[in-house]
Every structure is written in structure tokens, then in C-alpha cells.
Chains A and B, each alone.
Chain A
């Protein structure tokens, strides 16, 4: 039986390689009393271990020569400064000399205390940088013990598997192009290591429970960095399938930028605008690189949760202005805060069921000052930069919420003299209730964006984060299809309809959207070239026929099968497609 494990998808891509296990567990440190006449020797040992660690990092700095040189060097410099820090050195030396204990223990003791000092810093960004301290402690410890890490030889096609991976080691091991993937037990999206992995284009999955103790050295592992899934102990049949996927991915990668330049046009000249969903404003650069024609949804949650305090009007103004930096896009879509009570730290009332609680527009309407500040920042950007912004309201489930939101938008807008063609307002259709009120909603707004993730979760009444429900919560469920159809048939001609959500980057679902006459799809930027490559080989006519056939079907399996067959048929004449379903 093959084995698989999920984690957080950090860096996209599909690859295979042999496991190299590094630093399998946190270094164990022993506490030892030393004799008074050994103190000087122990202090010297500590200082030379620090020097050796610094030299290693300095050497790495010289070796760096890539597109992200400046950023990578800054990360290394930060690490060097910590090693040079007087506080660190003096506290460790004091412990060694006053308490007669060994250097390893003293170092770890000081760093443990330091981390307590920093524990009160709520800032996630800051917390992740603190991880760098521990990596340094391990590096010094290794040098104290005289083990030489550089003895590890990286062969071609290596998948690095670690409990945790420092940004320094990530750079060191990955720079020769031999590493095909990274899997770790710990880590998150905003860590230095994640930033490095993405910039180097190495498929990476983090927060995989016990991955470092589950795979054997040398084991062949398939890594799907799109879905955050790794597989090993593969049988013959599966192997054939996975190898095909891998080869498709490799040839696709080669043509990635060719696809990214395509327009989203079908064979019979229907144009679908392909845009990007982003979470950090600076991602606009990457989005353009991958061929995004605009920002279909900027999720503002990260901006709100990455700081100790909610961002001020100025913070938000600066952040939203960043979206227009370099004049990459004339128009962007900003989704107002979609946050649930569970994500707010000083929120005193804990909800039993946050997905059904005070979230999205409900939270904004209950916290008018936060909502008004966000709207003010948006209108200030429109006003000062003379750029178009689409305002997208999440979790609208009734007309009262919508009317109150629109009144507030109108009130804030009147603080500025903005021509009405510079902004538009839309609603994320993600509750069945909104679907049933769609006609009245469309009378009030300029566009709607179908948020498939939540719409599916609320339609099926199944938690999308619950892995045991994975089969039930499929977007191939006939009820989901009928729900989408219910929306699109009722929407008046002049309402612009877009799709945002995972379903938009599943190539098998493309025929459904094309068939329904959807004009815009917004997705993770790295999915864009793949989707553009497929649209070109489809026609509205065929898609419409398939859509109607699918609407007659009653099982998710049949629907998926039908869609895959169409894709396979249309794509058989050219090998553009990558279907990495595993």
C-alpha cells in the first residue's frame, strides 16, 4: 500500500526524488559540569564555534548568485549579526564561567531565555524570524561538537525531509539545483524558508505531521506542491500514472512562460479574463510574471492578522497603493475583511462554530469603525492614484446586510470627489441564501463573484477542513453544479460574473464555466499558465453541450468522468495539458 501525507502547500510544482533526511530531530543537548581549570578552554571552544558558524554563512554569501541575490543576502546578514551580538556572547560566556557548565548547555539556556523575552510579541512575522535563532543555536552546537555538516552530499533528484529547515540550510542545499522538493514537520507560509523555496521554485510542503520520522532515507517520494500532498511506497500502477504526471509537469514548466502570455480565448473566440487571487500586496509582481490580467481578489486578512494591532488608515493606504506599484494593473479587486471571531486575538467571545458565526461582512457591520477605515483607505487610493478599484463584500447572506454595506460605502465615498467609473461594488456569492436572493442582489451591485469554496461547504453542509469528508465535499457534486446553474441563469445580462475559489483552477471544471458564460476566473497565480493553456483548446459550443449533459447526471463520479473525457479529447492533439491529479 502506498502512503501519503498532507501539509500546507508552500511552493507549487510537481516532482519526484529520493529522500534525504537531515537534522531528523532537534539536537539533544547534554548538561555537564566543567572544572574551573577547563573554563578558559570551554570559552575558547564556544568562541571558535561561533566564528566557524559565521565563516560558514559568509562563505555561503559569496556563493549566492541568483535572481533574488539581495533578499537572500539580507537574510544571511541578519543571521551573521545575531552571531556577532555582544549580548548573546557575553551571556553565554558568563554562564560558562560563573556556573561551570559546558558551552552547549549555556548556549541553549541563553537562547531559551531569549525566546521567552520575545514570546510576548504577537506579531506572526516576528515570530517566524525567531525560528532563525534556533537554527543558529543548532549550527553552533554542531560546530562545538566538531561535526561537519558540509559532509552531507546532495545527489541529483533529492527530496529534503526535515523536522524543520533553516533558511540558511535551504539556501545551502538547494542552490546547486539538485533538490527537487522540500518536506518539513514544522513551518508556515511566511517563514524565511518558505520565501526562499518559492523564489527558487522548489515544490515545498510544510506542517506535515511527523513526515521526518515516517519516511526512510533514500525512499522515492512524489511531491505535489500544488495540493500540499506527498506520496511514497508507490505500487507499479500508481507509478506509471505519477511518472506521466511528473513528465507532463516538466514539459509544462519548460513552456510555462509561453502559456502565461496567451490570452484567455476559446477556439470560437470567447474571451475569459484570467486574474489572480493574492494575499500579500507585493505578490502583484509574481502574478504578472505568471500571466495574470488583473487582480481578481486581494484578500486583506493577512494585512489584518500579521500585526499586533489592526492596520491604521495610513497602513492600509500604503498597502493598497502597493497593488498599483509599477503600474502593472489599471484595476484591482479588494475584498473587504473576511475574518471570523476565531481569528481575532483579543476577541473575548469564543464561537462554537466560527464558519457560521460573526464573520465576513457580519463582522464588518458589527465593527463599523474597522469597516469604515478600510473603505476610507480604499477610496483614498482611488482618489490619489486615479486608479480603478472593485470592492468585493464577503459573506453577504441577506439584503439588509447588503443595503447597510452599500449605505456605508456611499457615505465614505462622499468624503472624496471620485467619478463613479473609478469604482464598482460586488458581492461574493458564497451562501445558499444569497443564491436564492440573487436577482435582488444583482439589482443593487455591479458584479458578483462566486466564492466556490464556501458555497460548496455551505451547500453540502460539510466542513472543508475536515479530511474525512473529502469525498463528500467534492466540487463535482451534482448539487454544486445545479447551484452554479441556478446563479448564472438568474443573473441579468449587465451583471458581470466572476469565479474565485479553488474550483476555478481545476482544469476539468473549465468547460462548465465556459459553458455557463462566465467572463472572469480568478485563481492562485501559479495556476494561470495551465488554465490559459487549456482554454485555448476548448470551444464555447462544446462546453455548453457538456454542461447541459453534466446537469443531467446524478453522481460526482460520472460528472468528473465526463469532464475529464472532454479535456482528454480536446487536448489529445497537443501535449500542452498537465493533469496532475493524484
Chain B
């Protein structure tokens, strides 16, 4: 399944946010990819995520493909919506 989302935290997908995302994606069986413009990377790889250099408000597309794809998508969206715990307000 596919879903588009804008990076909601002001620091963007930096080291800390990418770490949290990779720690989450690696819990799932399914393939997870994230695309920004024409670049598509493996969301289970920290190097991949960092190479996206996705800053605040950039549109990205998440694609999950496999047995637990729905669960993975839901939890990733939840993590994005929490802004990786960066902003308290």
C-alpha cells in the first residue's frame, strides 16, 4: 500500500528521526520504501534515509509491501505524526 505524507518535524529526517524510523521499520516483515521525487530508498536502512535529505514539509511517499504492510504503514504514520517526539507543543 502507498501513502503520501509531508515531513512534519522541523528538523526533518535528520540523524535522530531517521534512527527512530529505522528502529521501527526493522520490526516488520514487509518491504518498506520511501520515495522523494524520483529517489526511492529502503526505509530499513539508515544510510538510505539519510541520503533522502528530506527536510521539513517535504512530500514523501511511503510504500509497504508484504504480510504486515497495513500495520507497518499505520505505525509509521503514527511516528511521523508524533513529530518523532521533537516538539512538545
**Chain A interface residues toward B at CB < 8 A:** 74, 77-78, 81-82, 84-88, 114, 117-118, 120-121, 123, 125-126, 129, 132, 307-309, 312, 314-315, 318-319, 321, 325
Bound-state CA distance A321–B88 (Å) is: 11
B55 to chain A, nearest CB (A): 6
Contact among A81, A307, A308, A321 for B89, CB-based, below 8 A: A321
The answer to whether B46 has its CB under 8 Å from any CB of chain A is yes
Task: Report the bound CA distance from A132 to B50 in whole Å.
Answer: 13
**The residue from B16, B23, B47 contacting A87, defined by CB atoms under 8 A apart:** B47
Nearest A-chain residue to B26, judged by Cβ: A84
**B55, A307: Cβ atoms under 8 Å?**
yes
Is B87 interfacial (CB-CB < 8 Å)?
yes
B residues less than 8 Å from A74 (CB atoms): 16, 19
> Which residues of the partner chain A approach B46 to less than 8 Å between Cβ atoms?
78, 81-82, 84-85
Q: Is residue B31 contacting chain A, with contact meaning CB distance below 8 A?
A: no
Q: What are 23 A-B contacts with C-beta separation under 8 Å?
A: A74-B16, A78-B15, A81-B18, A81-B19, A82-B46, A84-B46, A85-B47, A86-B44, A87-B42, A87-B47, A87-B48, A114-B51, A117-B51, A118-B50, A123-B53, A125-B14, A129-B14, A129-B50, A308-B53, A308-B55, A314-B10, A318-B87, A321-B89
Q: Tell me the minimal C-beta distance from B50 to chain A in angstroms.
A: 7
Chain B residues with CB below 8 A from A120, complex form: 53
Q: Decide if B65 is an interface residue (CB 8 Å cutoff).
A: no
Question: Could you say which residues of chain B place their CB within 8 Å of the CB of A321?
Answer: 89
Interface residue SS majority, chain A:
helix
Q: Interface residue tally of chain B, by bracket?
A: 20 to 34
Are A318 and B47 touching (Cβ within 8 A)?
A: no
Q: Is B22 an interface residue (CB 8 A)?
A: yes
With most chain B CB atoms within 10 A of its CB, the pick from A81, A88, A129 is A81
Q: B56 and A315: CB pair below 8 A?
A: yes
Q: B59 → chain A, closest Cβ, in Å?
A: 15
Closest CB in chain A relative to B51 CB, distance in Å: 5
A85, A307, A309: most-surrounded residue (chain B CB, <10 A): A85
Of the candidates B10, B42, B53, which one forms a contact with A126 in the assembled complex, judged by CB atoms under 8 Å apart?
B53
Task: From B11, B15, B23, B47, give the contact of A114 (CB < 8 A).
Answer: B47
Most chain B CB within 10 A, of A87, A123, A125, A315, is at A87
Q: Taking CB as reference atom, which chain A residue is nearest B51?
A: A117
State how many angstroms separate the Cβ of B29 from the closest Cβ of chain A. 15
Whether the pair A129, B15 counts as a contact (CB closer than 8 A) is yes
| Smallest CB-CB A-B distances: 6 pairs | A81-B46, A129-B15, A121-B53, A87-B45, A78-B19, A87-B47
Query: Which chain B residues border A77 with CB–CB below 8 Å?
Result: 19, 23
CA distance A432 to B9 in the complex (A): 43
Bound-state CA distance A57–B59 (Å) is 34
Known: A85-B46, A85-B47. Contact between A78 and B16, CB under 8 A? yes
Give the chain B neighbours of A114 by CB distance below 8 A: 47, 51
* Neighbouring B residues of A82 by C-beta, 8 Å: 46-47
Chain B proximity of A143: nearest CB distance (Å): 20
Interface residues of B in 3-21 (CB under 8 A from A): 10-11, 14-16, 18-19
> Given the complex, which residues of A lie within 8 Å of B47, measured CB to CB?
82, 85, 87-88, 114
User: For the complex, what is the distance from the CA of A290 to the CA of B18, rounded to whole Å?
Assistant: 33
Cβ of B45 and Cβ of A85 under 8 Å apart?
A: yes
**A321→B89 CA distance, assembly (Å):** 10
Closest beta carbon of chain A to B8's beta carbon, Å: 11
Q: How far is the CA of A77 from the CA of B18 in the complex (A)?
A: 11
The answer to whether B16 touches A86 (Cβ under 8 A) is no
CA–CA, A86 to B48, complex, Å?
A: 10
